Amino acid sequence: MYLAINLKNVFLFWNMVVPRSKKELYDHYENVINRFGIPMLKTAIPRS
Q: What is the pLDDT of residue 47?
A: 67
Domain membership of residue 4 (yes or no) is: no
Number of domains in the chain: 1
Q: What is the pLDDT of residue 29?
A: 83
Low-confidence ranges of the chain (pLDDT < 50): none
Q: What is the pLDDT of residue 4?
A: 84
- Per-chain mean pLDDT for the chain: 77
Domain membership of residue 17 (yes or no) is: yes
Distance separating alpha carbons of residues 1 and 17, to the nearest angstrom: 35
Domain membership of residue 23 (yes or no) is: yes
Q: Do 39 and 11 form a contact (C-beta atoms < 8 A)?
A: yes
Domain membership of residue 21 (yes or no) is: yes
* C-alpha distances out from residue 3 to 6, 7, 17, 31, Å: 10, 12, 33, 30
Domain membership of residue 24 (yes or no) is: yes
Distance separating alpha carbons of residues 17 and 47, to the nearest angstrom: 10
Domain with 39 in it: 12-46
Q: What is the pLDDT of residue 48?
A: 65
